[in-house]
Amino acid sequence: MHRLVGLLGGVIVVVAGAAACGSPPPPGGLKAGGQLVASNVLRGDYASSEACADCHAAIHDSWAASPMRNMTRDIATATVRAPFDGAVLRVGNDVAIMELEAGVRFVRVVTPAGTERFRVTKVIGGRYREDFVGVDVNGGVERVLPATYVFAEQAWRYKGYSVMVKERPAMSTRAVWSKECIGCHNTLPLATMLYDELYGPSLPGYQGKLSDRVMPKRRAWTAASLDDAGLTRALAAEIRFLGGEPPAGASLRDT
């Protein structure tokens, strides 16, 4: 049986039961410069996959070429299969036009309410289709763009479907990348991934939860906060890193 009680730099303690492994845990690793690693659950603890490449080159190279590793890519360096050649996608009275100008990709969205033009910043996917994220040329945050290119059909389709974006009768550019998508398309700290367990059974449902409500309790990992104030600060820092602002004076559950 596994049990998680965990250490978040003194905030959460992580413990695996004896049945999980018959050998003692390995000694703690060292950071660059010989600094002892005391935490591996905060964003600042992340060493990156490149830190493993020297000793595990074959595994690292296989991972680097995997579809999961390449799910989210910077448009400036990505290989893109979708044609930005003036292709037009229509949904009702709305139109999306895929454009290429001086090597820069744009999506122009024309609706009865007006026209928006987005400079593409990210390409998402690449195994079955490509989705895109962009910034309005007039400024603002990265938003999920309403057109997706499906390889099997070699055609543009409306991105009105996904686990977060339901089908709509019209195009929408309201979805904010950093709020609705980045949790599944990023490397998140362990503290963030454990928060649904820390909150407990009354946590409201959301896409991406790690809790398995069907798992027998004796098999489940559990988590408990040993320092609510410290955990609150850590979660607030993560929210700010992702571009949000934690509510002032909020309790741990509201952070």
The pLDDT of residue 15: 38
The pLDDT of residue 166: 59
Strand extents, DSSP E, the chain: 72-74, 88-91, 94-101, 104-111, 114-125, 129-136, 142-144, 147-150, 155-158
Residues 196 and 174 in one domain: no
Domain membership flag for residue 226: yes
Q: How far apart are alpha carbons 136 and 117 in whole angstroms? A: 6
The pLDDT of residue 130: 95
Residues 158 and 193 in one domain: no
At 141-157, the pLDDT tens digits run: 999 999 999 999 999 99
The pLDDT of residue 205: 67
Residues 80 and 40 in one domain: no
Q: How far apart are alpha carbons 193 and 253 in whole angstroms? A: 15
Residues 156 and 96 in one domain: yes
Q: How far apart are alpha carbons 159 and 80 in whole angstroms? A: 17
Residue 207 vs residues 169, 192, 204, 211: alpha-carbon distances, Å: 23, 14, 10, 11
Residues 104 and 173 in one domain: yes
Residues 81 and 176 in one domain: yes
Domain boundary among the residues 180, 215, 239 is at 180
pTM score, two decimals? 0.68
Looking at the 3D structure of the chain, how many domains does it have?
2
Q: How far apart are alpha carbons 118 and 172 in whole angstroms? A: 13
Domain membership flag for residue 238: yes
Burial 161-182 (b: 16+ CB within 10 A, else e): ebeebeeeeebbbebbbbebbb
Domain membership flag for residue 99: yes
The pLDDT of residue 207: 58
Q: Which domain holds residue 29?
A: 18-46+188-254
Mean pLDDT by 10 residues, the chain (255 residues): 36 40 41 63 84 94 88 94 97 96 98 97 93 96 94 90 63 86 75 74 64 73 81 85 79 68
The pLDDT of residue 17: 37
Residues 155 and 121 in one domain: yes
The pLDDT of residue 88: 97
Q: Report residue 208 as tokens.
A: 């991406």
